[in-house]
Every structure is written in structure tokens, then in C-alpha cells.
RNA sequence: GCCGCCGUAGCUCAGGGGUAGAGCACUCCCUUGGUAAGGGAGAGGCCGACAGUUCGAAUCUGUCCGGCGGCACCA
């Protein structure tokens, strides 16, 4: 800044000098009118700022345009879309109060407070008004207000939620107010220079309820969700993705593929049909084998257990409302919502030596929980489910190595299903919890040490741990982009204490073991739901409930087709026969729609030559192979991983 | 649980104060056809449940049940 000059360094390394301070807009114009037109914001020292920011010192500046890839531009657009949404809603329905409206993955939302609910018709009107506001090309101007003045202002115009938000901001922080047209909103920014820059590639998607400040004790607001993109093409691509995702919805495929159903008489409980149950058993046996190799001991514990045990474990106090109970012999029993207390009962039989640790006790444990009705979702969130549960009883010293061993096993299993990018979350102590703070310090510390030892990257999930200990969550994503916790690992110093679990140490004295609660699939039901969506119903051969259909072209091949079926079954393949009096086109179409991985077609020629025409799902053409060769190939491909 | 929307044949959906319709699937008949729908006929519904309004309710109103989308919850 010599001689009052301001040097601006551009991303290409070139430097422009100016006599006096200038706005980012001026800078863009100075470089070229095309750039000025495309400019949306600035990146000053790597941080996004308004395009109108005054540049009054030497600095490195990057001009952000609509053509820039990456999420930052999208976040900017979406955040503005939320403001335009709020402006439109206020214009059309002035009695509405605005609250917050952030950008989110794929879009944005805005929460409104209003007596009368918005209707789908209102959505259309609001969207139309949003387009008008964009066309008005309203300048978006940032101002900074004193906090108390801002609170008074918003109170005076009846925006009590806004006033409350501002009042909760620390007094020494500046209050940024963005004005566009008649609409003013509290906001940190940055924003576009004008509403026109938002463009028209946005769409309002859905109406929903949402609690004020995310707390169910508060009143419910009305949330409007929308999506926004750089251009029409991206918007269309997104809408198309949504349609594709709907096609692989496990609820739809579950019905179409005759895997399972749900009905009113057993809400949240799955009726497994033959094909779905075959899939279920295949998975269970696969995992059972993995567990055997990993030195787990499988057990089975009772469904109905006296409430005394749940009181002792602490579950009764915390989850009583979500437990199914029944009275008998003047005692109260609960359908088990978890397996851990039962596993401790097995552990407590006899005397355990430190030589027995780590003891890995596994169960495909059938559990029931009275989940809130609004939480139910297909077979992903149900009231009756089976956990691939296990508890590792070990010493404190063994936590790290057991965590490493478990994470390796989990990733190995996930890899067999093609899940390679797994989100890991670390959830620490919740507000309501059992155990002393010192115990939590210890358990969180040891889990952190253990996860660090695995080298996996993870994100923090504060306050989301189980009531007895911190946990790792292994999260998979469904077709519609929703995250589901599947695997978990939880460190527990509390239950062994409460249920008096002991082992005899090297010193001959009693010691408390640590329990590691862990699951890989999480629940069989949820994992199967995820798999259906992941594969869009087109399972790999080893998982497919119906692996092969033998279909005939004429009834002259019926006897041969029966021989083929027998040969397939003798090799352990799941196969069936289609001898119907239908054209081969019809049969191909039907079995393709049913997503049968392999169709073996037999006509007169094949019968005479002892060959078979192999048509694989997803391929346009078929291959004629020697029967033995065809079967060998299928058998090889149908091998269960790890077996 | 809370907010909004929805509930008609096995599935997808149309209709809408005067006793219910399509396509696919299903059953039967004809067709023996070489790799994604051959032709014909037939059967199938207490219009989610209960109450109310009405001469009359699948249709209007209310309550409940269930589903869907969010929110909250998730040992």
C-alpha cells in the first residue's frame, strides 16, 4: 500500500494497482465486463465475501463466478434462494414470521411461523413469486446494525423469532442485516450482489413440520424445502436422480420382488416371504462364518425377561416407554430391546479367568422396541428386528487392539458388498447418562485412542453417545441420500458394574471387565434394505434369492430342462423351472423384470447337443455353452465370500 | 409423538351425493413360438374403520387406524 496505492493479487499471480479503495464489483469490471457480469462473490484470502466488499488494502482476491465448480458457489446460490423464498412468502402472506433458512445438501429450506398451514397450492404461488423477485433484480445490500437496535426493529415489525435469534448473539458481535427490496433479514452472509444472479434453476420441493430450534418441546414451524442449482441442466439432472432413486426404493422392490411385506396388524414388523427369507439366511450364514473365523462364540438368549434385569441394567429407567411388556405370574416381563444384559448373564455363569479374555459373545438377537410411529420406515426402521450383536468382554488394555480387529472385520465385510466409503462418527457423552464423569473420561479416551490407532478418519457427533458409553457409528447411505447407522462399536464401563460382571485376574483377585458392544450390519432388516437399494434389486449371484431360472422354448425341451434343473440343484444353486406354454420373449422379459441373475434357455437344439443358452441379467445377448461348463461358471460365481 | 399430504381390484391409478372404472397381474381357451409383452374370453372391490349430515355417502364432516415426506426420537 505504498503511496496510497492498493495492490490486488489475482489467482494467476498478476497484480493490479488502484489509486483508491474499490469494491469487488469494480475490480471485476476493471478486469473485464464479461467477468463483471458473471461475478457472484469474492474469495479474499480463501474466504467467501460479498462481491460488494470494499477492497481497501493489499490482498489476494479471487472472483467467484457461476462457472466455478464445487460446493461453495452452490451454497451461496442456495442460501440466496432461501432468502428469496422468505421474501416471497412475506409478500404473499405478510402475517408469516420468518425464522431461519440455511443451505443444505442439494438445496435449502426456510422455517416459517404461521397460524394457517401452507398448502401445496401456496407452494406454487410462492415459487412463482420467487421467479418474479429474481426478475426484479433487487440489489442485495449488507448493513451492520447494533444488536439492540436490531432486536427492537424486528420486534417492532412482529418478527419475534428473529428478535430472539439476534438477542442470543453475543453483544460484541456485529449484526449483519441484508436488505433486498423491502425484505430485510439477519444474516452472516455472504450473499449474491442481486436477486437476479440467483437465476431460475430452483424449485420448491416439499412442505414439512420442524420444531423451533430443533426441540420437540417447542412449537412446530412450517418448513419449505427447495433445491437450487447453477443452471437448468443441473436442476434437471438432480430431479432425474431423484426419480432414479425412487425406482430403487427397497419398499417398492421388496414388493415387486416378493421379498417381504408389512401390514397393519403388525406395524413395524416384517413378514418375510420365501425369497426375502432366503436372502436373509444367506446373509446370516455369511456373517456367521465370518464371526467364527474371527473367534466369536455364538449364543442365544430369551425374548422375555423380567423387568428386574432391565431395572438393574438401567434400560428400564431410560427406555421403559419404548419397551413392550407383558404380565404373567404377577411379574412384569419385557420383550428384550437389547441383548447386552442377557449376555452378561451368560458371562456371569461360572468363573471367568483373565485367560478367557477377550471373550467375544455373538447373537443374532431378535429385539423389539416400540419406536415412535413417525420414525418407522420400510424395513430400515422397524419395531421388531434382529441385531447381529456381539459383546466383547475384555480388559482395559485390550480395548485398542479389539477396536482395531473389529474395524478391520467390519470393513472387510462391507467390502464384500461394495461399500468402500463408509462414514465414521464418534459420538461422545450424552446429557442424560449413567456412570461417573471420570468413567466417561476414561471410556471416551480409550475409544479415541483406539479409533486413532486404526487410522480411520471420522467426524465428531457430540452428545450422541449411548447412555452407558461413547460409540463409533458406521454410516451407510440409502438410495435417496438418507444416512443410516449400520455398524457400531461402543465402549461400556457401566453395564459390567451394574450387572456385577467379574473375572479373576492374574493376581487372583476379582476384576471388572470392559464390554465392547458392536454390530456390523446393525440390524438384519436395515442392512437388507440398504442392500436392496444399493444393488437396485440386482443382487450378485451369491445373494440372489433365485439364482437361476431354466426356461424352455418348446415342450420338446421339457425333459432336458428338468435334467438341467436337477444338475443345478445338485451343485447347490437356487434354481427353478419355467416350462409354461409361453414364448421365449415373454419368459425373458418376465424373469428379467424379476431380476433373476441367470436365465438358462433350453430349446430343441440345446436338448440334442447337451448345451444351454445362457442369458445374464443386464446383458443384451446370450451365449451357448456346454452344460457342464455353464454350471461350473455359475457355481464359481455363486460362492459365498469367505467360504 | 408433532406438522402436512394421502388411503378406490394383487399392483399403478382415474372417478366422485343416486348401488364402481382402466391398464398390468390372475384364471380358462387357442397358440410350440429362438431371447424384454402372441390372440381371445372370464373372474375380481363393504372405495381403510367407525360415527355424523342426508330420502340417499365411496363421494361431505368428525374421530380413529395405516401409509408417505419432514421434524423429534433411535439403548
For A36-59, the pLDDT digits (tens) are: 999 999 999 889 999 999 988 899
> Catalytic residue at A289?
no
A208 C-beta less than 7 Å away from strand B? yes
What are A261-304's pLDDT values in tens digits? 999 999 999 999 999 999 999 999 999 999 999 999 999 999 99
pLDDT given at position A3: 66
Residue A538 has pLDDT above 60, yes or no: yes
Specify the pLDDT at position A171: 81
Q: What is the pLDDT of residue A381?
A: 97
A330: left (phi over 0), alpha (psi -120 to 50) or beta: left
Q: Is the CB of A483 under 7 A from strand B?
A: no
pLDDT of residue A541: 98
What percent of chain A clears pLDDT 90, i.e. is strictly above it?
Answer: 91
CA A142 – CA A184 distance, rounded (Å): 10
- Whether the beta carbon of A270 falls within 7 A of nucleic chain B: the reply is no
**Residue A229 clears pLDDT 90, i.e. is over it:** yes
Check residue A1 and give its pLDDT. Answer: 52
* pLDDT tens-digit series, residues A244-259: 999 999 999 999 999 9
- Whether residue A585 has pLDDT greater than 90: yes
pLDDT of residue A5: 84
**What pLDDT is stored for residue A2 in this prediction?**
57
β strands within A462-610, DSSP E: 471-477, 483-492, 503-504, 510-511, 514-523, 548-552, 575-578, 598-602
- A370 CA to B51 C1' distance (Å): 30
pLDDT at A85: 98
- Distance, in Å, from the CA atom of A19 to the CA atom of A3, rounded to the nearest integer, reads 9
Query: What proportion of chain A, given as a percentage, has pLDDT over 70?
Result: 100
Does residue A626 surpass a pLDDT of 60?
A: yes
The confidence score (pLDDT) of residue A21 equals 87
Do residues A479 and A533 make contact, with C-beta atoms less than 8 angstroms apart? Answer: yes
Mean pLDDT, range A141-161, rounded to an integer: 94
Angstrom CA distances, A160 to A152, A176, A361, A618, A620, stand at 10, 17, 55, 58, 63
In the residue annotation, A340 being an active-site residue is answered as yes
Residue A17 has pLDDT above 80, yes or no: yes
Q: Which three cell numbers stand for residue A633?
A: 461358471
Residues ≥6 apart with Cβ < 8 Å to A151: A163, A166, A167
Point out the least confidently predicted range of A46-60, A73-87, A333-347.
Answer: A46-60
Q: Return all residues near A382 (Cβ < 8 A) that are at least 6 apart.
A: A268, A269, A270, A371, A376, A523, A525, A526
Query: In 3D, which of A498, A489, A502 has the Cα closest to residue A458?
Result: A489
User: pLDDT-based confidence at A481, cuts 50/70/90?
Assistant: confident
Task: List all nucleotides in chain B with at least one atom under 7 A from a protein Cβ.
Answer: 1-5, 11, 30-38, 65-75
**Confidence bin at A181 (pLDDT 50/70/90):** very high
Does pLDDT of A496 surpass 70? yes
Q: pLDDT higher for A374 or A20?
A: A374
Instruction: Check whether residue A624 has its CB closer than 7 Å to nucleic acid strand B.
Output: yes
HSE of A205, CA atoms in CB hemisphere, 13 A: 19
Question: Looking at A80, A290, A340, A429, which residue is catalytic?
Answer: A340
Name the average pLDDT for chain A: 95
Q: For the residues A468-489, what does the mean pLDDT come to?
A: 91
Is the shortest CB-to-strand distance from A260 to strand B under 7 Å? no
Q: Among A47-56, A384-393, A600-609, whose mean pLDDT is lowest?
A: A47-56
Does the pTM of the predicted model rise above 0.90? Answer: yes
Structural Rg of chain A based on CA atoms: 31
Average pLDDT over residues A200-217: 96
pLDDT for the residue numbered A606: 97
For A223, the grid coordinates are: 418448513
Amino acid at each position: 500500500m505504498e503511496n496510497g496505492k492498493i495492490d490486488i493479487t489475482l489467482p494467476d499471480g498478476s497484480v493490479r494497482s488502484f489509486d483508491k479503495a474499490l469494491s469487488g464489483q469494480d475490480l471485476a469490471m476493471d478486469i473485464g465486463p464479461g467477468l463483471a457480469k458473471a461475478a457472484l462473490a469474492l474469495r479474499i484470502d480463501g474466504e467467501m465475501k460479498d462481491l460488494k466488499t470494499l477492497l481497501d488494502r493489499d490482498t489476494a482476491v479471487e472472483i467467484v463466478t457461476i462457472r466455478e465448480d464445487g460446493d461453495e458457489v452452490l451454497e451461496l446460490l442456495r442460501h440466496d434462494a432461501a432468502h428469496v423464498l422468505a421474501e416471497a412468502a412475506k409478500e404473499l402472506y405478510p402475517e408469516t414470521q420468518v425464522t431461519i433458512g440455511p443451505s443444505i445438501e442439494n438445496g435449502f429450506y426456510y422455517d416459517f411461523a404461521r397460524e394457517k398451514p401452507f398448502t401445496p397450492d401456496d407452494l406454487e404461488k410462492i415459487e412463482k413469486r420467487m421467479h418474479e423477485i429474481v426478475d426484479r433484480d433487487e440489489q442485495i445490500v449488507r448493513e451492520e446494525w447494533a444488536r439492540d437496535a436490531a432486536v427492537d426493529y424486528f420486534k417492532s415489525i412482529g418478527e419475534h423469532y428473529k428478535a430472539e435469534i439476534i438477542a442470543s448473539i453475543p453483544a460484541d458481535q456485529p449484526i449483519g442485516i441484508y436488505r433486498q427490496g423491502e425484505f430485510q433479514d439477519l444474516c452472516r452472509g455472504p450473499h449474491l450482489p442481486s436477486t437476479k444472479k440467483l437465476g431460475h434453476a430452483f424449485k420448491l420441493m416439499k412442505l414439512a413440520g420442524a420444531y423451533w430450534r430443533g426441540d420437540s418441546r417447542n412449537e412446530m414451524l412450517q418448513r419449505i424445502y427447495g433445491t437450487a442449482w447453477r443452471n437448468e441442466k443441473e436442476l434437471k439432472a438432480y430431479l432425474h436422480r431423484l426419480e432414479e432413486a425412487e425406482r430403487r426404493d427397497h419398499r417398492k422392490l421388496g414388493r415387486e420382488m416378493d421379498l417381504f411385506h408389512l401390514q397393519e396388524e403388525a406395524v413395524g414388523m416384517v413378514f418375510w416371504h420365501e425369497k426375502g427369507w432366503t436372502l436373509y439366511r444367506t446373509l446370516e450364514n455369511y456373517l456367521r462364518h465370518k464371526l467364527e473365523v474371527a473367534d466369536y462364540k455364538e449364543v442365544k438368549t430369551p425374548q422375555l425377561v423380567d423387568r428386574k434385569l432391565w431395572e438393574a441394567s438401567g434400560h428400564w429407567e431410560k427406555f421403559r416407554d419404548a419397551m413392550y411388556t407383558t404380565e404373567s405370574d404377577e411379574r412384569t416381563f419385557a420383550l428384550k430391546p437389547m441383548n447386552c444384559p442377557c449376555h452378561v448373564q451368560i458371562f456371569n455363569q461360572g468363573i471367568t479367568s483373565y485367560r478367557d479374555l477377550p471373550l467375544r459373545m455373538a447373537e443374532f438377537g431378535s429385539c423389539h422396541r416400540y419406536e415412535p410411529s413417525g420414525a418407522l420406515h420400510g424395513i430400515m426402521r422397524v419395531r421388531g428386528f434382529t441385531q447381529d450383536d456381539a459383546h466383547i468382554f475384555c480388559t482395559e488394555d485390550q480395548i485398542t487392539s479389539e477396536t482395531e480387529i473389529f474395524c478391520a472385520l467390519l470393513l472387510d465385510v462391507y467390502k464384500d458388498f461394495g461399500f468402500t466409503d463408509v462414514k465414521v462418527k464418534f459420538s461422545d457423552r450424552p446429557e442424560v447418562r449413567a456412570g461417573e464423569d471420570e468413567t466417561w473420561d476414561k471410556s471416551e479416551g480409550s475409544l479415541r485412542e483406539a479409533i486413532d490407532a486404526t487410522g480411520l478418519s471420522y467426524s465428531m457427533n457430540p452428545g450422541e453417545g449411548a447412555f452407558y458409553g461413547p460409540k463409533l457409528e458406521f454410516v451407510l447411505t440409502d438410495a435417496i441420500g438418507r444416512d443410516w447407522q449400520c455398524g457400531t462399536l461402543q465402549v461400556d464401563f457401566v453395564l459390567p458394574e451394574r450387572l456385577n460382571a467379574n473375572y479373576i485376574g492374574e493376581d487372583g483377585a476379582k476384576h471388572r471387565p470392559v464390554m465392547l458392544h458392536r454390530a456390523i450390519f446393525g440390524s438384519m432388516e436395515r442392512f437388507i434394505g440398504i442392500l436392496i437399494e444399493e444393488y437396485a434389486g440386482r443382487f450378485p449371484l451369491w445373494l440372489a434369492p433365485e439364482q437361476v431360472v431354466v426356461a424352455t422354448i418348446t415342450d420338446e425341451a421339457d425333459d432336458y430342462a428338468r435334467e438341467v434343473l436337477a444338475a443345478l440343484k445338485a451343485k447347490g444353486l437356487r434354481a427353478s423351472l419355467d416350462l409354461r406354454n409361453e414364448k421365449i420373449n415373454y419368459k425373458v422379459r418376465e424373469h428379467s423384470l424379476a431380476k433373476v441373475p441367470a436365465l438358462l434357455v433350453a430349446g430343441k437344439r440345446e436338448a440334442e447337443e447337451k448345451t444351454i443358452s445362457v442369458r445374464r441379467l443386464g446383458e443384451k445377448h446370450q451365449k451357448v455353452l456346454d452344460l457342464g461348463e455353464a454350471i461350473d461358471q455359475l457355481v464359481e460365481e455363486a460362492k459365498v465370500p469367505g467360504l
